[in-house]
Copies of this chain bind each other. A is one copy, B any other.
Amino acid sequence: MEYTVHQLAKLAGVTGRTLRYYDEIGILKPARINSSGYRIYGQAEVDKLQQILFYRELEVDLETIKKMVNSPSFDDVKALKEHREKLLAKRKQLDLLIANVDKTLAAKEGRMTMSDKEKFEGFKQKLIDENEKKYGKEIRAKYGDETVDKSNQKLKQMTEEQYAQVKKLEQEVLDVLNEAFLTGDPASELAQQAADLHRQWLSYFWDSYTKEAHAGVAQMYVDDERFTAYYDKTHPGAAKFLRDAILLYTGMKND
């Protein structure tokens, strides 16, 4: 059997370029060249190519393969053993790398959680301040300083476990909001679901839920760029969209 480049290439699962390259670097020369300058390969070349590809599979470099298949006196077992050592060293290095990447990720996620926590803390403080400003006098007059201070204190002392649940809800709000945003309609079912999830989320902070306060927080998302940025992360305009959904949800705004 005789083959042209492409025929042999297909037979062996490589490209013609590869065969020309192998010819160029002298690792596999065609049996002969016909009158038109075409490379013609025979059975011997097919066999040799198989060998070459076998060693290539093992990621031996072509220079070494060349010696292996072209000089019968070459100690291929020794070469393979050395190659094996190189592979082992590479794996050791890889293990180190992976461990380091893991360490870096752990540190980064630790920091992220940290900064999330800080944001969370800031949010809680902001809620307290807002409540204080809007309803402070009224409520303090009604229940007395002590009661209000204790409530605020409780808010600040949310447990880690609650925090985790809150984080989960927070993510759900985001997910549903982003999906709802694509509908473009704050009155859509998904948008209203997002608003409801947000109510559940808020309930973690408030003893008593009021539509007014909920709507107030929603408005804050638009007014305070810290929160706007948070909700707009995936879709710019999502914060406003959420506010509108909540305004409809709370019935603070019709149609």
Distance in angstroms between the alpha carbons of A161 and B72 in the assembled complex: 31
Please report the total number of A residues contacting B with Cβ < 8 Å: 25
Q: Decide if B88 touches A98 in the complex (CB within 8 Å).
A: yes
- Which residues does chain B contribute within 8 Å of A90, judged by CB atoms? 94
- Which residues does chain B contribute within 8 Å of A95, judged by CB atoms? 91
> Nearest chain B CB to A175's CB is how many angstroms away?
16
- Which residues does chain B contribute within 8 Å of A97, judged by CB atoms? 57-59, 87
> Nearest chain B CB to A121's CB is how many angstroms away?
22
Q: Name the one of B57, B84, B94, B100 contacting A91, with C-beta atoms under 8 angstroms.
A: B94
- Which residues does chain B contribute within 8 Å of A81, judged by CB atoms? 105
Contact with B along A95-130 (1 / 0, CB 8 A): 101101110110011001000000000000000000
- Which residues does chain B contribute within 8 Å of A84, judged by CB atoms? 98, 101-102, 105
- Number of copies of this chain that the complex holds: 2
Residue of A80, A95, A109 with most chain B CB atoms under a 10 A cut-off: A80
Given contacts A59-B97, A100-B57, contact A105 B87 (CB under 8 A): no
| Residues of A in contact with B (beta carbons under 8 Å apart) | 57-59, 76-77, 80-81, 83-84, 87-88, 90-91, 94-95, 97-98, 100-102, 104-105, 108-109, 112
Give me the 10 closest cross-chain CB pairs, A-B, nearest first. Answer: A84-B101, A91-B94, A87-B98, A77-B108, A58-B101, A80-B105, A87-B97, A59-B97, A58-B100, A80-B101
